[in-house]
């Protein structure tokens, strides 16, 4: 019996309703179906009384989800896709992402196209696009305080209000550099169209094996975004008192003290997205962000989104 999964955003009533309908349809077609909420992929938020909300990377996989699963359908927006990625990446389960949110930059299809998309997935008529992830860890001495998988970006900054932070950052075996800024972002190519883009970083196509370091509102005109090979690890030593807060893919899970070290490297795990048609990143940039449109519209020759 083939096996499939469903991961849905239980905050959105429509996602929950479609998840039940989808489960019934797959079961009637002879599939073994596991269903879970994407809340299991949320990292949790630290606070002064609970400074570290730590769930080991392999501990986020939902019950019943394993490498025998043919695919999993994700119902939600980009936040749901990010959470689902953390849940299933260690198992290598392909994700068919269905937008029930707003922009849906990471989603493949829409609810009104779900019947056709599901048929393609059940028949194996799709391509797999792999997206690189980061492993993020916080060390105190030799002990791991916190770890997480990251598809978009890691952000380190002060709270509750933005103000100047100081960092010593070492990339690979290169000499450490000092950066003064409101915060720093370390981004994957997938995350290059998220926070890092708003902070002035470049857009990176998903297949390029690089990471980028982007200072947020740097104090020096010379501090600009840096792109480097994803074979290089990153160590960040904050020097702020009393602490900084870390945000990974929009989830904050750990306070970082001056004696801590933030370590990042390309993860051994990747997200595997189902593509129902050959991936076309420039088309997504155009449709979602308006990239590459002519500054003077030519309706007879250019199809506008």
pLDDT greater at residue 252 or residue 146: 146
Query: At 296, is the pLDDT very low, low, confident or very high (cuts 50, 70, 90)?
Result: low
Name the CATH superfamily housing domain 3-131+270-289: Probable inorganic polyphosphate/atp-NAD kinase; domain 1 (3.40.50.10330)
Q: Which of 5, 10, 22 is nearest to 115 (CA)?
A: 22
Taking residues 91-116, report their average pLDDT: 93
Rounded Cα gap, residues 25 and 298, in angstroms: 44
Taking residues 6-20, report their average pLDDT: 95
Q: What digits encode the pLDDT tens for the residues 73-91?
A: 999 999 999 999 999 999 9
Query: Out of 10, 32, 58, 78, which one is annotated catalytic?
Result: 78
Q: What digits encode the pLDDT tens for the residues 106-145?
A: 999 999 999 999 999 999 999 999 999 999 999 999 999 9
Angle at 110 between CA 109 and CA 114, to 5 degrees: 85
pLDDT greater at residue 16 or residue 162: 16
Taking residues 206-210, report their average pLDDT: 95
Known catalytic residue: 58?
no
Q: What digits encode the pLDDT tens for the residues 174-190?
A: 999 999 999 999 999 99
* Binding-site residue positions for NAD(+): 78-79, 152-153, 182, 193-198, 251
Res. 298: pLDDT tops 60: no
Domain definitions of the chain by residue range: 3-131+270-289, 133-268
- Residue by residue, what is the 3-state secondary structure of 236-305? EEECCCCCEEEEECCEEEEEECCCCEEEEEEEEEEEEEEECCCCCHHHHHHHHHCCCCCCCCCCCCCCCC
* Binding-site residue positions: 78-79, 152-153, 182, 193-198, 251
Evaluate if pTM is beyond 0.85: yes
Cβ neighbours of residue 46 closer than 8 Å, sequence gap 6 or more: 52, 53, 245, 252, 253, 254, 255
CB atoms within 10 A of CB 1: 5
Our CA dihedral for 297, 101, 254, 205, rounded to 10 degrees, sits at -40
Element (H, E) at 96: strand 95-99
Rounded Cα gap, residues 161 and 173, in angstroms: 33
CATH architecture of the domain covering 133-268: Sandwich (2.60)
């Amino acid at each position: 019996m083939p096996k499939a999964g469903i991961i849905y955003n239980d905050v959105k009533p429509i996602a929950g309703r479609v998840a039940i309908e989808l489960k019934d349809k797959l079961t009637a077609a002879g599939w073994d179906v596991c269903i879970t909420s994407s809340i299991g992929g949320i990292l949790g938020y630290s606070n002064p009384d609970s400074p570290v909300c730590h769930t080991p990377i392999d501990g986020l996989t939902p019950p019943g989800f394993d490498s025998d699963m043919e695919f999993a359908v994700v119902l939600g927006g980009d936040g749901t896709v990010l959470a689902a990625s953390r849940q299933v990446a260690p198992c290598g389960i392909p994700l068919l992402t269905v937008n029930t949110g707003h922009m849906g930059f990471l989603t493949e299809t829409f609810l009104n196209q779900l019947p056709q998309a599901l048929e393609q997935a059940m028949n194996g008529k799709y391509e797999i696009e792999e997206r690189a992830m980061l492993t993020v860890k916080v060390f105190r001495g030799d002990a791991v305080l916190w770890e997480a998988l990251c598809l978009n970006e890691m952000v380190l900054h002060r709270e509750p209000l933005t103000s100047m932070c100081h960092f010593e950052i070492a990339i690979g075996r290169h000499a450490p550099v000092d950066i003064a800024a409101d915060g720093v972002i370390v981004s994957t190519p997938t995350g290059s169209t998220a926070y890092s883009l708003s902070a002035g970083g470049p857009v990176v196509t998903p297949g390029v094996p690089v990471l980028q370091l982007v200072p947020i509102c740097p104090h020096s005109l010379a501090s600009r975004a840096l792109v480097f090979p994803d074979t290089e690890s990153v160590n960040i030593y904050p020097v702020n008192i009393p602490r900084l807060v870390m945000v990974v893919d929009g989830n904050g899970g750990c306070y970082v003290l001056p004696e801590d070290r933030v370590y990042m490297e390309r993860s051994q795990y990747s997200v595997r997205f189902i593509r129902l048609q050959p991936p076309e990143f420039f088309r997504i940039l155009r449709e979602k962000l308006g990239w590459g449109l002519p500054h003077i519209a030519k309706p007879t020759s250019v199809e506008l989104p």
